[in-house]
């Protein structure tokens, strides 16, 4: 098949959505499909295709995650996509490029898959002052529900997506397809003991300490401040437990100030921004992945930690409760005391017991690679294509050699 994927953000930018799309593209191409990525690019003034990516002129919005925002209407974009002749259009964002994907699908009579990655209620504060949050949230719901309304199928990485879809006023069913992870890149064998030791030395963490890490963009929605307050209540320097926070974002300076105020800088380290290809040794230098975020939907950073063998400690969230299974790939905690108890429990495990847990953690994500994601999505593509073939491709319904290169 020929699949056009519409996304506001793509490589070389790195975030959860980009990683998801990159892995999906690789998996689909391995299955013999042809993929065109359509994305915004503030570094170009004209549309062009290079390496199977259609770059669309855009403006950069530094305040909103540094997002590149393109015009939702473009004859040039329509021309390029029409020439590509997609069998399926797959929309991954709700801004201008996503809106463009929905419109082009209608013009070309092509079925649409829409993947909901983000619970936007947690991000309203980026664009609206506090007094306007209720009104902005209401307007956001009205706008976002256009996407499930006009999509043939809606997918999302966790049950939270169904709750959010219902909340915005849509009755569309969400097909839950867990996020993927680059298993080979984050396997423990991809870094050396020397690299791990060097990272600990760089951040003045004892080699014999037990290290918990959080990886992600440092925004309010990630609740790293909650993590720091829980840490301050339960962990002392004598525990030989350290917290390594990897990432950058608008809250980084504020979080560093909180750590100072809570007097926990002796056991908490901020690594700052780490490029994605350089991330595995940072994961492997740690022993536990910990998060208090309630905004994530099957966090890819968490999955990368699990691929590296790190058991996860996650603040309890009913709609994400199936992500972490106690004793299998980690543990849920409900308050600071429980988080502290679990950190101490893992710290005090015998080496054989800890290795058994790590093996169980890696086993739990073994089916989260590119091939499995592509197979799940391919099944959806074939189903809606047979039900809603485009005018240009009704003549071809043979599987699996449908519309290959």
For the chain, which residues make up each domain, given as ranges? 2-180+369-387, 183-364
Tell me, yes or no, if the two domains 2-180+369-387 and 183-364 fold the same way. yes
Q: Under a CB-based contact definition with an 8 Å cutoff, are residues 35 and 29 in contact?
A: yes
Domain 2-180+369-387 homologous superfamily, CATH: Glycogen Phosphorylase B; (3.40.50.2000)
User: Can you tell me the distance from the alpha carbon of 343 to that of 347, in angstroms, rounded to the nearest whole number?
Assistant: 6
Residues of the chain with pLDDT under 70: 62-66, 389-405
Let me know how many helices (H) and strands (E) the chain has, helices first: 15, 15
- pLDDT tens sequence across 359-398: 999 999 998 999 999 999 999 999 999 887 655 554 444 4
Cis, peptide link before residue 12, omega less than 30° from 0: yes
| Bridge partner list, 210 | 241
145 closest CA partner among 176, 116, 124: 116
DSSP track, 129-140:
-GGGHHHHHHHH
User: Can you tell me the distance from the alpha carbon of 291 to that of 222, in angstroms, rounded to the nearest whole number?
Assistant: 8
| Bridge partner list, 37 | 5, 53
User: Can you tell me the distance from the alpha carbon of 387 to that of 113, in angstroms, rounded to the nearest whole number?
Assistant: 13
CATH of 183-364, one of 3.40.50.150, 3.40.50.300, 3.40.50.2000, 3.40.50.720: 3.40.50.2000
Pairing state between β 241-246 and 288-291: unpaired
By three-state DSSP, how is residue 332 classified? Answer: strand
By three-state DSSP, how is residue 191 classified? Answer: coil
206's tokens: 């004892």
- pLDDT tens sequence across 187-199: 999 999 999 999 9
pLDDT for the residue numbered 15: 87
- pLDDT tens sequence across 103-117: 999 999 999 999 999
């Amino acid at each position: 098949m020929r699949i056009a994927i519409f996304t506001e953000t793509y490589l070389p930018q790195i975030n959860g959505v980009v990683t998801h799309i990159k892995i999906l593209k690789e998996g689909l191409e391995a299955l013999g499909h042809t993929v065109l990525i359509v994305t915004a690019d503030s570094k170009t003034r004209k549309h062009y295709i290079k390496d199977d990516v259609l770059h669309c002129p855009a403006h950069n919005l530094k305040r909103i995650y540094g997002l590149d925002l393109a015009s939702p209407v473009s004859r040039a974009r329509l021309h390029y996509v029409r020439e590509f002749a997609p069998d399926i259009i797959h929309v991954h964002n709700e801004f201008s490029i996503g809106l463009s994907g929905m419109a082009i699908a209608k013009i070309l009579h092509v079925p649409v898959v829409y993947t909901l990655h983000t619970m936007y209620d947690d991000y309203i504060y980026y664009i609206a002052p506090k007094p306007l949050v209720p009104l902005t949230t209401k307007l956001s719901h009205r706008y976002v529900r256009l996407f499930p309304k006009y999509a043939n199928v809606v997918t999302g990485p966790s049950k939270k997506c169904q709750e959010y879809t219902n909340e915005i006023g849509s009755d569309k069913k969400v097909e839950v397809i867990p996020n993927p992870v680059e298993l080979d890149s984050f396997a423990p064998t991809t870094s050396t003991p020397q690299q791990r030791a060097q990272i600990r030395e760089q951040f003045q963490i004892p080699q014999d300490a037990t290290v918990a890490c959080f990886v992600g963009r440092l925004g309010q929605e990630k609740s790293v401040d909650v993590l720091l307050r829980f840490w301050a209540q339960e962990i002392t320097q004598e525990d030989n437990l350290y917290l390594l926070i990897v990432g950058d974002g608008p809250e980084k300076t504020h979080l560093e100030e909180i750590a100072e105020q809570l007097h926990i800088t002796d056991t908490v380290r901020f690594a700052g921004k780490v490029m994605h290809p350089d991330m595995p040794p940072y994961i492997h230098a740690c022993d536990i992945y910990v998060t208090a975020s309630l905004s994530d939907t099957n966090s890819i950073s968490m999955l990368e930690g699990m691929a590296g063998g790190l058991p996860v400690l996650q603040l309890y969230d009913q709609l994400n409760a199936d992500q972490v299974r106690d004793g299998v790939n980690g543990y849920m905690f409900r308050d600071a005391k429980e988080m502290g108890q679990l950190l101490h429990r893992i710290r005090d495990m015998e080496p054989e017991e800890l290795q058994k847990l790590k093996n169980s953690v890696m086993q739990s994500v073994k089916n989260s690679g590119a091939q499995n994601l592509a197979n799940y999505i391919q099944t959806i593509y074939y189903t809606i294509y047979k039900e809603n073939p485009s005018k240009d491709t009704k003549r071809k319904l043979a599987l699996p050699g449908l519309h290959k290169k």
